């Protein structure tokens, strides 16, 4: 009796290798990114004209006018004539000046003794750029606590306008004119001669 032959069993075929899914995932991500980019571009393109239209249609803000400068205030303390026994030396330059020395010195003495007049009389030489508030500042630089002149202002020595304004005020004061009348006469004479560069000082109005 023949022996049955032993056959080696045939191994099962290996399972088919799974196809990689990576290319599919990359492709899907790329398509989604392109779609999102196109959507964003369209939305931006629509928003810009709308914003531009809104900006054009929006009314411009009304310009607020700058507040006008307040007029200079009168001195807190009422000024009065101030005779002075002794004055600091008034040394005029050695070269010729525009007005005689005696006229210049008289203007300085009047400014020293009558701040209640020249404090309210403007000057028209352009000295407001140096901080002068009135014609008195053209001659008096500082005063002591009692009102005496402690230092002269040299500007008035060589400025014909300063001296002439003070001389006009002095003559009118001697004839009995009020400070308001003196100021009005000085302004009437000198305002027409002032220019954009030479305006008058920001002088307070005299008290009523």
27-41 pLDDT per residue, tens: 555 555 555 555 554
pTM: 0.64
DSSP state string for 125-164: SSGGGGT--SGGGGTEEEE-TTS-EEEE-GGGGS-HHHHH
Q: What is the dihedral of CA 146, 147, 151, 153, to 10 degrees?
A: 170
Which of 94 and 32 is assigned the larger pLDDT?
Answer: 94
Which of 38 and 178 is assigned the larger pLDDT?
Answer: 178
Check whether 49 has a pLDDT greater than 70.
no
Contact 119, 79 (CB under 8 A): yes
- Cα–Cα distances in Å, from 184 out to 51, 78, 96, 139? 60, 20, 32, 21
Q: Per-residue confidence at 193, pLDDT binned at 50, 70, 90? A: confident
């Amino acid at each position: 009796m023949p022996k049955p032959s032993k056959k080696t069993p045939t191994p099962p075929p290996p399972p088919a290798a799974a196809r990689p899914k990576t290319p599919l995932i990359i492709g899907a991500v790329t398509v989604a990114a392109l779609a999102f980019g196109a959507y964003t571009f369209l939305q931006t393109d629509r928003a810009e004209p709308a914003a531009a239209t809104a900006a054009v249609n929006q009314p411009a803000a009304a310009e607020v006018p700058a507040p006008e400068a307040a007029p200079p205030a009168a001195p807190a303390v009422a000024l009065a004539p101030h005779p002075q026994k002794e004055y600091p030396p008034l040394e005029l330059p050695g070269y010729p000046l525009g007005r005689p020395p005696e006229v210049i010195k008289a203007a300085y003495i009047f400014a020293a003794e009558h701040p209640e007049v020249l404090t309210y009389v403007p000057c028209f030489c352009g000295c407001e750029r140096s901080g002068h508030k009135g014609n008195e500042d053209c001659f008096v630089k500082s005063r002591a606590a009692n009102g005496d002149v402690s230092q002269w202002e040299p500007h008035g020595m060589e400025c014909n306008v300063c001296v002439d304004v003070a001389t006009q005020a002095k003559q009118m004061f001697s004839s009995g004119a009020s400070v308001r009348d003196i100021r009005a006469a000085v302004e009437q004479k000198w305002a027409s001669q002032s220019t954009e560069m030479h305006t008058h000082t920001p002088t307070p109005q005299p008290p009523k």
